[in-house]
Structure 1
Amino acid sequence: MKDFYETSRLILRHFRMGDEQALYELLSNPDVNRFLPMFPLQSVEEAKDYLQTHYLDKYKNQDGYYYAICLKENDRPIGYIQISGDESHDFGYALRKEFWHQGIVSEAALKILEEFKTSDLPYITATHDVCNPHSGNVMKKIGMKYCYSYKEQWMPKNILVTFRMYQYHFKKDEDFIYLKYWNKYPHHIEKDI
């Protein structure tokens, strides 16, 4: 897949050295971080290390698909959107708080789905905390289908979270459901909660 895409408002591109300040501004914010599987970054130096291990090294190893979400006007990262390289093909995203509720993540996600329809990926999955319905609204808006919910003692924050799991098939006739979370966590729910 390419390392650069455009939408009407956005540039989706690979992260690069020099993005550490923008990454720090995103991942140090406690409101943005509340539903992320990490603690807020504490310094630009920590953001530089995160940039290396979570983006640059993964590009080199071809381990998943990771894009900075940038506004066209300045090509500066205001968020990220990604598909993990493991069997879950986990779809994730985050956006700086001042850009919430403007349809930016949905616009970026729809572009990624459009581009990946011709890839070898059979599906993507995504989960959201039931306390974060806005993330679930993005999943619904881009056509992901709810599959099940489960409770997990979520690390590293060590809190009990009820997650809703969604899935999107690139081949419309597929009915496979990714059951790793269902099988791993004993408290799971089939109905939509």
Structure 2
Amino acid sequence: MGPRLETSRLILRLFEPSDAKTVQLLAGNEEVARTTLSIPHPYPDGAAEAWIERIRNAFNNGDIYSFAMIRKEDEVLIGCVSLRVAKSENQAELAYWVGHPYWGQGYATEAAQSVCKFGFTDLNLERIFAAAMVKNPASYTVMKKIGMKSEDNFPKQILKSGVYEELVHYALTN
């Protein structure tokens, strides 16, 4: 059983196999997939199950800490926040997505803050960084809100669905 983090409105816990259907539904939404680097669209059947198994193993190895965002008031799974750890460099990449019905309510900021604190205190990380597509200001607003500083001396591009997207980078040091 992995760590369980708590914020005022959320419980952050390890994903369970029973979360697969909700993950497929939320992550499979075109609005969510469009601005997320790692989410396929359309989201194939069985992919969520495979992804949950993969991240549970990664959690146990200390490589990726992916937490399910669970809303306390109704115990509904609303998104994901994760730290992908590079042990040799003592740093991690922060990533998150929130289901479309739950956008704009500050959940990503709340979860990201909690997970960064976990990264610095429990994992003794030196640096946490994050990237977002330029066309996704909601994502880098979260980065700014949790105190990350822009590191954009090198605009980088990534290929997503056959289109090159500009990325912005932010970081936080312990």
TM bucket by the smaller chain? 0.7 to 0.9
SS in 2 for 1:136: helix
Please tell me whether the aligned partners of residues 151 and 160 of structure 1 are also in contact (alpha carbons under 8 angstroms). no
**Paired amino acid for 2:170:** Y
SS in 1 for 2:135: coil
**Higher-strand-fraction structure:** 2
Please tell me whether the aligned partners of residues 83 and 115 of structure 2 are also in contact (alpha carbons under 8 angstroms). no
Distance verdict in 2 for CA 1:59–1:114, change over 3 Å = closer
- Are 1:141 and 2:145 matched, yes or no? yes
Correspondence for 1:128 among 112, 122, 132? 132
SS in 2 for 1:108: helix
Aligned to 1:28: 28
**Paired amino acid for 1:121:** L
Correspondence for 1:152 among 154, 157, 165? 157
TM-score when scaled to structure 1?
0.80
Counterparts of 1:1-193 in structure 2, within 5 Å, are 3-37=3-37, 38-40=39-41, 41-43=43-45, 45-53=46-54, 55-86=55-86, 87=89, 89-118=92-121, 119-148=123-152, 149-155=154-160, 157-170=161-174
Residue correspondences, number: 166
1:36 and 1:113 map into 2 onto residues whose CA distance is 20
Query: How far does residue 75 in structure 1 lie from its aligned partner after superposition?
Result: 2.9
1:83 and 1:115 map into 2 onto residues whose CA distance is 10
* CA RMSD, 1 decimal: 1.6
Identity score, percent: 30
**Whose radius of gyration is greater, 1 or 2?**
1
2:84 and 2:169 map into 1 onto residues whose CA distance is 15
Unaligned runs of 5+ in 2: none
1:58 and 1:153 map into 2 onto residues whose CA distance is 24
